[in-house]
């Protein structure tokens, strides 16, 4: 029986596979029974409320009782059905990646990659393959905040013509462990501690750092986690990585190692730590809201898919093991080749049915993509399927709309919880009664679209032993550290000090400092000073972080300073206004910055309107008590209101936080008074602050200069 595809398409939906025009996915085949039932199905032009059995109901607000104040009757099947369904609404949340947001879109390649792979979605330039993407945090439950310090999941489901392919990755290219057998230990350690179920959505506690201090292979990942990569500005401004080394396979069966990269068109931007903490209180749904609102506004997020391609003959050509998931392939050794783009252009219709029930699995591959012997990947290929079986109530979760492939599904798998299809005919193979169908495609040369496992010769003894090529735990951690700008290094030091400062066990603190000594002595000494631990003697713990001579010492591609994009599209700018403000400057901010793609909002002490100097009533988008500077990327303080705003505590806090978090600020005329009240005695001397002291409308050059400041995102030197 033909299996239906993903949910019905809506405006801006991806095009149907194999066509150049938008269209709905394939529909299930309809037999005579379906058609006969339709003929007897009563039309319902009223949209009446019914039971699960299709019975119309007259009242859903009152139970069936004996008289007005008598007992409720057991025969009230509407009440029983409604409560039973409510009692069973919840399903187990994901053990990790529970807090997530998702969206639909499409992927289209720039060029054919037929030389390397027969994967259908990488063959035809411009052909659009529908996708569903889910972003997530790792540690916290569904109710935790979006802006905690954590790894972010970046999982993409491609609905290709040859089946579903899941690229299940993170916003960091490495992981904490090398072997999947350690995954339960890692998750148990990072989760809230058993006695008190604290902390929620955070790694700053004893068990996590105890595990890491005893597991040196986690050091590289810890450098990423303590960097600003762990507190992204938004999902739309976040990189994604496949983490593992996978294998592309072409039509001739030739394999090529591949690393997958997602690069956001809007650049890679992060919050600063204090900003992220305040945002969690002001809007715990900050990232979820940002993604949803951008798509609803038509500002569709876009990423470029890049690949690092490594011929199989070069498997051992590098000073690290390609199968080690705690290692990157530096771009200086293998450049990232852009091969296509992904656009997210449609929000889900129902969070539970789509974002919550979507099921990803690293082993969901299509012809042309195969695995390597990465021991973490091998374990994930077992664990993901096993997890979905209990979370989604049985083996038929692939029939849920968000998980259904566009490709036809025909097999002998039957029954089980949640079965939604009526299977005619036989359920075994081989058979003759059913005409031998469904039939395998083996024997001779396989036709297009048939999966054939990559043929790799395996010889050896069964052992429990880590490969010696996985033994270097520090050189790439040092590469990351030395690739950071000075302000990024300071943020990493502060993050280690904050996290380890929450650890009560002094021995755990000491062990972590020893591990950091192997990365960089200065890093270890400064962290030790801040958390009250005696710095280790360098002679006892020499730096081990210098890799082989043929490995890069610095990788510019790792620093956020080199990943900001040109332009300010979708950046949010607050214009502070009070009665008597220069209306021309407020309008100019909206027009000039809006023309560059920024989202500009007027913020005032109260909702409604503000009376400008010229008598115009300016509409207010947000009131100061209901918003905060952490929800914006830049601030404009026009003339005619700066002195008045100094008497508004919310306005002073707004400006103070914007300055403390290094955000671009524009002050016009007496707008500088608010900045002085916020602690900037000489605003014109502050990095990232644009000042216009002359009255009236500033010139084009002023706004162009302010746009350039917003492009730089943050000014951490403040």
Q: Which residues pair with 600 in a beta bridge?
A: 573
Greatest C-alpha distance within the chain:
90
Count CA atoms closer than 13 A to 352's CA, side-chain side: 7
pLDDT at 100: 96
436: helix, strand or coil: coil
- Answer yes or no: are the C-beta atoms of 433 and 426 closer than 8 Å: yes
DSSP state at residue 683 = G
- Exposed / middle / buried, residue 680 (Cβ in 10 Å: 0-12, 13-18, 19+): buried
The strand pair at 609-611 and 617-619 is best described as: antiparallel
How far is CA 476 from its chain centroid? Answer: 24
Mean per-residue pLDDT, 455-473 = 90
- Report the first-to-last Cα separation within the chain, whole angstroms: 63
Tokens of 141: 């439950």
Least confident of 420-424, 492-496, 608-612: 420-424
| Predicted confidence band of residue 718 (pLDDT cuts 50, 70, 90) | confident
pLDDT at 450: 85
Say what the pTM is: 0.91
Q: Which residues are CB-contacts of 145 (< 8 A; sequence separation ≥ 6)?
A: 201, 279, 280, 284, 286
pLDDT, tens only, 242-291? 999 999 999 999 999 999 999 999 999 999 999 999 999 999 999 999 99
Q: Render the burial of 144-158: b for 16+ CB within 10 Å, e for the rest.
A: bbbbbbbbbbbbbbb
Alpha carbons 659 and 278: distance in angstroms, whole number: 14
- With a cut of 50, say whether residue 9 has pLDDT above it: no
- With a cut of 70, say whether residue 175 has pLDDT above it: yes
pLDDT at 16: 36
For helices 273-282 and 486-501, the axis angle rounded to 10 degrees is 60
| Predicted confidence band of residue 326 (pLDDT cuts 50, 70, 90) | very high
| Predicted confidence band of residue 67 (pLDDT cuts 50, 70, 90) | very high
- With a cut of 70, say whether residue 36 has pLDDT above it: no
- Answer yes or no: are the C-beta atoms of 655 and 675 closer than 8 Å: yes
- Give me the domains of the chain, ranges plus CATH numbers: 100-208+231-399 (2.40.180.10), 481-546+557-562 (1.20.1370.20), 572-711 (3.40.50.880)
Q: Count how many residues are written for the chain.
A: 718
Alpha carbons 671 and 180: distance in angstroms, whole number: 57
Mean per-residue pLDDT, 588-607 = 97
Give how far Cα 28 sits from Cα of 336, 404, 407, 422, 449, Å.
41, 11, 11, 11, 21
- Specify the DSSP element, H or E, that contains 167: strand 163-170
- With a cut of 90, say whether residue 644 has pLDDT above it: yes
Give 3-state DSSP helix, strand, coil % of the chain, rounded to 5: 30, 15, 55
- Answer yes or no: are the C-beta atoms of 215 and 177 closer than 8 Å: yes
Percent of the chain with pLDDT over 90: 80
81: helix, strand or coil: helix
Which segments within 633-686 are labelled E, that is strand?
634-637, 665-668
pLDDT, tens only, 285-312? 999 999 999 999 999 999 999 999 999 9
Residue 58 CB neighbours (<10 A) = 7
pLDDT at 572: 98
Question: Whose CA is closest to 114, among 491, 448, 499, 613?
Answer: 448
Catalytic residue among 3, 164, 170, 515: 170
Alpha carbons 344 and 335: distance in angstroms, whole number: 26
Q: What does pLDDT average to over the chain?
A: 91
Give how far Cα 503 sits from Cα of 265, 274, 490, Å.
38, 20, 20
pLDDT, tens only, 365-413? 999 999 999 999 999 999 999 999 999 999 999 999 999 999 999 888 8
| Predicted confidence band of residue 463 (pLDDT cuts 50, 70, 90) | confident
Q: Which residues are CB-contacts of 316 (< 8 A; sequence separation ≥ 6)?
A: none
pLDDT at 27: 42
pLDDT, tens only, 198-237? 999 999 999 999 999 999 999 999 999 999 999 999 999 9
Would residue 411 show up in a list of annotated catalytic residues for this protein?
Answer: no
Question: Whose CA is closest to 523, among 557, 494, 503?
Answer: 494
- With a cut of 70, say whether residue 133 has pLDDT above it: yes
- Answer yes or no: are the C-beta atoms of 193 and 232 closer than 8 Å: no
pLDDT at 41: 55
Percent of the chain with pLDDT over 70: 92
Q: Which residues are CB-contacts of 29 (< 8 A; sequence separation ≥ 6)?
A: 1, 2
Residue 419 CB neighbours (<10 A) = 14
Give how far Cα 74 sits from Cα of 63, 66, 86, 167, Å.
10, 11, 17, 50
Residue 646 CB neighbours (<10 A) = 18
pLDDT, tens only, 559-587? 999 999 889 999 999 999 999 999 999 99
- With a cut of 70, say whether residue 475 has pLDDT above it: yes
Give how far Cα 328 sits from Cα of 174, 304, 324, Å.
7, 19, 9
Tokens of 575: 């214009």
Would residue 97 show up in a list of annotated catalytic residues for this protein?
Answer: yes
- Answer yes or no: are the C-beta atoms of 172 and 228 closer than 8 Å: no
The strand pair at 369-370 and 246-249 is best described as: antiparallel
80: helix, strand or coil: helix
Alpha carbons 176 and 210: distance in angstroms, whole number: 13
pLDDT at 508: 98
| Predicted confidence band of residue 32 (pLDDT cuts 50, 70, 90) | very low
């Amino acid at each position: 029986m033909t299996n239906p595809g993903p949910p019905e398409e809506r405006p801006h939906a991806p095009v149907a596979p194999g066509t150049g025009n938008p269209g709905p996915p394939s529909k299930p085949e309809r037999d005579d029974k379906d058609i006969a039932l339709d003929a007897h199905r009563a039309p319902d032009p009223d949209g009446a409320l019914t039971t699960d059995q299709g019975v119309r109901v007259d009242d859903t607000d009152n139970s069936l009782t004996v008289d007005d104040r008598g007992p409720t009757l057991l025969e009230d099947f509407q009440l029983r059905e409604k409560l039973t369904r409510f009692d069973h609404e919840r399903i187990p949340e994901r053990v990790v990646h529970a807090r997530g947001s998702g969206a639909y879109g499409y992927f289209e390649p720039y060029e054919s990659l037929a030389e390397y792979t027969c994967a259908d979605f990488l063959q035809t330039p411009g052909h659009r393959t529908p996708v569903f993407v889910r972003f997530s945090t790792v540690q916290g439950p569904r109710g935790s905040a979006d802006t905690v310090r954590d790894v972010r999941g970046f999982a993409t489901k491609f609905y290709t013509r040859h089946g579903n392919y899941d690229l299940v990755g993170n916003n960091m290219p490495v992981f904490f462990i090398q072997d999947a057998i350690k995954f339960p230990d890692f998750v148990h350690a990072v989760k809230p501690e058993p006695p008190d179920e604290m902390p929620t959505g955070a790694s700053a506690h004893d068990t996590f750092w105890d595990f890491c201090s005893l597991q040196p292979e986690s050091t590289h990942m810890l450098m990423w986690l303590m960097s600003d990569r762990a507190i992204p500005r938004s999902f739309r401004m976040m990189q994604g990585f496949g983490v593992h080394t996978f294998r592309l396979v072409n039509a001739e069966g030739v394999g090529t190692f591949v690393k997958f990269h997602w690069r956001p068109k809007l650049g890679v931007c992060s919050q600063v730590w204090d900003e992220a903490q305040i945002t969690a209180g002001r809007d715990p749904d900050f990232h979820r809201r940002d993604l949803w609102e951008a798509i609803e506004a038509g500002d569709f997020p876009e990423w470029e898919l890049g690949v690092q391609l490594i011929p199989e003959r070069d498997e051992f050509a590098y000073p690290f093991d390609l199968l080690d998931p705690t290692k990157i392939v530096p771009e200086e050794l293998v450049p990232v080749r852009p091969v296509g783009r992904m656009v997210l252009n449609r929000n889900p219709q129902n969070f539970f049915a789509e974002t919550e029930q979507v099921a990803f699995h690293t082993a969901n591959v299509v012809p042309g993509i195969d695995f390597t012997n990465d021991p973490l990947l091998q374990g994930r290929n077992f664990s993901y399927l096993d997890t979905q079986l209990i979370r989604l109530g049985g083996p038929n979760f692939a029939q849920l709309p968000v998980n259904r492939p566009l490709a036809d599904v025909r097999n002998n798998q039957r029954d089980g919880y949640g079965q939604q299809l009526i299977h005619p005919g036989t359920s075994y193979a081989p058979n003759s009664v059913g005409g031998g169908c469904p039939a395998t495609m083996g024997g001779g040369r396989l036709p297009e679209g048939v999966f054939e496992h990559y043929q790799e010769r395996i010889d050896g003894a069964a052992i429990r032993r880590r490969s010696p090529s996985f033994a270097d735990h520090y050189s790439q951690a040092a590469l990351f550290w030395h690739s950071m700008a000075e302000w990024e290094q300071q943020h990493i030091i502060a993050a280690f000090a904050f996290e380890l400062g929450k650890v009560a066990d002094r021995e755990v603190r000491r062990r972590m400092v020893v591990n950091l000594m192997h990365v960089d002595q200065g890093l270890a000494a400064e962290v030790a000073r801040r958390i009250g631990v005696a710095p280790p003697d360098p002679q006892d713990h020499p730096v081990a972080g210098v890799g082989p001579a043929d490995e890069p010492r610095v990788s510019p591609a790792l620093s956020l300073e080199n990943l900001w994009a040109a332009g300010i599209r979708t950046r949010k700018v607050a214009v502070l206004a009070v009665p008597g403000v220069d209306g021309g400057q407020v309008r100019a901010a909206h027009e000039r910055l809006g023309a560059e793609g920024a989202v500009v909002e007027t913020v005032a002490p109260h909702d409604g309107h503000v009376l400008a100097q010229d008598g115009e009533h300016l509409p207010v988008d947000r009131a100061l008590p209901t918003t905060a500077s952490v929800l914006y990327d830049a601030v404009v303080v026009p003339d005619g209101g700066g002195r008045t705003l100094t008497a508004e505590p919310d306005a002073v806090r707004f400006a103070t936080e914007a300055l403390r978090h290094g955000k671009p600020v524009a002050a016009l005329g007496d707008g500088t008074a608010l900045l002085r009240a916020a602690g900037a005695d000489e605003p014109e001397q502050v990095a990232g602050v644009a000042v216009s002291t002359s009255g009236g409308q500033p010139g084009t050059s002023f706004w162009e200069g302010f746009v350039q400041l917003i492009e730089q995102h943050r000014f951490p030197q403040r």
